[in-house]
Amino acid sequence: MVDQLVVPGDMVLDLSNMTNRTIKLGGGLRQDGDAISVMKAGRLRFTKPNKYWVESSQKRYVPHAEDSVLGIVVDSKADNFLVDIKGPSIALLPVLSFEGGTRRNIPKFQAGTLLYARVVKANPGMNPELSCTDASGKAAEFGSLKDGYTFECSTGLSRMLLSSPTCPVLDALGKKLSFEIAVGLNGRVWVNAASPSTTIIVANAIMNSESLSGVQQRLMVEKLLQKIQ
């Protein structure tokens, strides 16, 4: 049923037929004994080596472990930064959750600082926990994002932008323009370019792309670029 539309109650996997295999469940799925069933309507997705989830477009973000998110610092405490990730509750970012983090080199973030982070823990009824390192403890692409322009979108658009191969709108923009982009699965996108006009073009193209097919996305980008040439 991968890539097919599913609705709550559908059973999509039977673990009794999948001996000696470990799978990861993402958003929209739950386990009841050997049965994996659907909790929300959407499209069943799979990514190697072993992760399944239900992809749907919504404005409310439900945190899941290993999601990459764009968070906004709202306050700092002795042990944690408090970060808004558009979830049901404020996320906690431990002050030592940075590459080489020690008490002597705790970063200082003002309220409003934009961070690219990874969800480490996401349990119901508890504040999600974030980290600015990858699974091996390296900073990788995580950390604070400066300058640029940030806007909000649906979670479905975020997943489309992060899909592989590169989605048509980003592929078409990347062939003509030079820019940086960070996409959070929580429905936030950060774009930065050498000129404000390029940043605005990229942001507008992305925001206009959600309801368009791949061919329509490329045509839309061509028309936007023609206007500035």
Q: How confident is the model at residue 59 (pLDDT cuts 50, 70, 90)?
A: low
- Which is more confidently placed, 92 or 164? 92
Q: Where are the domains of the chain?
A: 5-55, 68-145, 149-228
| Contact of 83 with 96, CB cutoff 8 Å | no
Helical axes 196-208 vs 168-176, angle rounded to 10° = 160
pLDDT digits (tens, 9 = 90+) for 147-197: 999 999 988 889 889 988 889 999 999 999 999 999 999 999 999 999 999
pLDDT, position 213: 87
Q: How is residue 138 written in tokens?
A: 């390296």
Most confident option among 4-8, 107-111, 113-117: 113-117
Q: DSSP letter at 166?
A: P
Which of 149, 140, 101 has its CA nearest to residue 118? Answer: 140
pLDDT, position 103: 78
The model's pTM is 0.77
Pick the CATH number of 5-55 from 1.10.30.50, 2.40.50.100, 3.40.605.10, 3.40.50.1000: 2.40.50.100
Q: Does the fold of domain 68-145 match that of domain 5-55?
A: yes
The percentage of residues in the chain with a pLDDT greater than 70, rounded to a whole number, is: 98
Cite the DSSP H helix spans in the chain: 155-161, 168-176, 196-208, 214-228
Mean pLDDT, the chain, whole residue set:
89
pLDDT, position 48: 78
Q: Which CATH architecture has domain 68-145?
A: Beta Barrel (2.40)
The CATH superfamily of 149-228 is K Homology domain, type 1 (3.30.1370.10)
pLDDT at 57 over 70: no
pLDDT at 18 over 80: no
pLDDT at 58 over 90: no
